[in-house]
Each structure stands twice: as C-alpha cells, then as structure tokens.
Amino acid sequence: MFHHAKNGTLRLGTRTMDYISYGSGPDIIIMIPGLGDGLRTVKGTAAGFALLYEDFARDHTVYAFSRVNELEEGYTTEKMAEDLVLAMDSLGIAKADVIGVSQGGMIAQWLAIRFPERVRRLVLTVTSARCNPLIEQNVIRWIEMAEQGRYHDLMVDTSENMYTGKNLEKARRAYPLLNFVGKPKEFTRFLIEAESCRRHDAWERLPEISCPVLVLGGAEDRIVGAEASGEIAGRIPGAALYIFPGLGHGLYEETKDWSGRILDFFSGPA
C-alpha cells in the first residue's frame, strides 16, 4: 500500500471512530479534517491522503481522525477534542504535531487549550476562533440545503466558495456526477457538526495556548474569511501567520507550499 496507508476504526468505550494512517517516520503528525467529515468520514481514504500529502510521509507517521460515529445533538468542538485524546490514548500517541483544517482547526484549538501536554506544535489552517458573520451565513445556508436533502446543491455551493482558478474549473467538471457519488443516506451527522461550528468560541482562551503555533489562511477565503486567521494569530502569544495570496479555503489542496511551510515549521523548535 502506498506509504503504508492504512484504514482503521477505533473502539472508544461504547463508541467508534474512523481513522487513517500512512508513513513510517518516527515523528507523529495528526491531521483533523473539516466539516466535510459530516458527510463522509475518513474511512477508505488512506491512499488518497497519502498521495495528496505524501510530503508528510517522508519523516513522519501521519494520522487523520474523524469525529466519533455516534455523534449526539449538541455535540461541541470541545467535546470532539476530548474524543481525539481518547483516540490518541488508544493508539499509544503521547504527543504529536497537530494540523487542524477549517472545523478541524476549531477542534485543534481546544486540544491545545485543554490538553497542552499532547500537542508539540500546532498548525491552524483556514479556521476561526469563533463564529463570525461570514461563517454564520455559509453554515446556515448549508444547514438548509442538508435539511432539504439537496446534496448536489450543497456540494456545488461548497466547491464554488472553496476553490479558485484551475481547481474550481476541475471541480465544476465533476458536478454532473455528484448525485451518483458520495451522497450520504441521511444528513444528521452533517447537521450536528455544522451546528458545532456555529457554537464554537475559543476566543477568550486562545492566549492559554503555549506550544509553537503557525496560522495559515487564504486571502480569497469565502468561507471563514482571511481576517479570521489574523485574529487567531493576534490572540496566541508568539504565533506565526502567513496568508496565501490568490487562494481561498481550499488552499491545502491547491498548493504544495502549504505542506512545505508546515514541514519547515515542524522542523523548528518544539
């Protein structure tokens, strides 16, 4: 399997959590994906992750974790961080470099705040410390589409606001296939995760984060806004900030410079 890519499911008491891993290096990277997890967990995506982010595999073992499969109404990003610690314990991961993307960055904030001993270095990508008007506008629209079962509209709307340039053109070519590929049986999971984005608020506690932090945003981000990254960096002592010009919310798929900057950061002091 490419870069030792592996798909797995953890049992955490009475609940389960899908995860993937790849690479075989001595240092651990944990990736926390965004709200797309509400439509599809990482199960079965190990080879795809390993191909897209193979730069991380050279010197690391990489894990990506979904939320638990048994999400309940009112589940919060803070509770999701608690679950992630249980997953780390289950796999014997004492400490890791953590990358949180979009909603995954919200969870990563709580992980670093509540469990500082588990995070060596932290990368927050296209995320926010709290719900802002742009996030509220987007998430409410997505919730309405999900409640009406409009999967095609939901995916088109997400892609139109996420990608730029050639990547948006590529996404548009796939629109006719959306009703035939990847559509969930129901949208309860997505709705619970979407609501947790609206309720997320780590603003007051961000200064408690003590590990090295790199904040990455896109100048053309139409989902959380570029300003959200600057606000986070301004609240965390010593945090570094870089805004990718010309790129939006999907920058982590659109440029290799994303992984390059992260690897440079991870090679620095912990």
Domains of the chain: total: 1
* Segments of the chain assigned E as strands: 6-12, 15-23, 27-32, 60-68, 96-101, 119-125, 213-218, 240-244
Mean pLDDT of the chain: 96
In order of 4, 15, 85, 166, 181, the CA distances from 70 in angstroms are 28, 6, 16, 37, 23
CA distance linking residue 51 with residue 5, whole number of Å: 9
pLDDT digits (tens, 9 = 90+) for 50-97: 999 999 998 999 999 999 999 999 999 999 999 999 999 999 999 999
Query: Which domain covers residue 116, as residue numbers?
Result: 2-266
What pLDDT does residue 181 have? 76
Secondary structure letter of residue 73 according to DSSP: T
pLDDT digits (tens, 9 = 90+) for 146-198: 999 999 999 999 999 999 999 999 999 989 888 777 788 899 999 999 999 99
What pLDDT does residue 1 have? 58
What pLDDT does residue 253 have? 94
- Residue 116: CATH number of its domain: 3.40.50.1820
What pLDDT does residue 247 have? 97
CA distance linking residue 56 with residue 269, whole number of Å: 18
Longest dimension (CA), the chain: 49
CB atoms within 10 A of CB 134: 17
Query: Which tokens in the block code for residue 86?
Result: 């249980």
CA distance linking residue 51 with residue 264, whole number of Å: 20
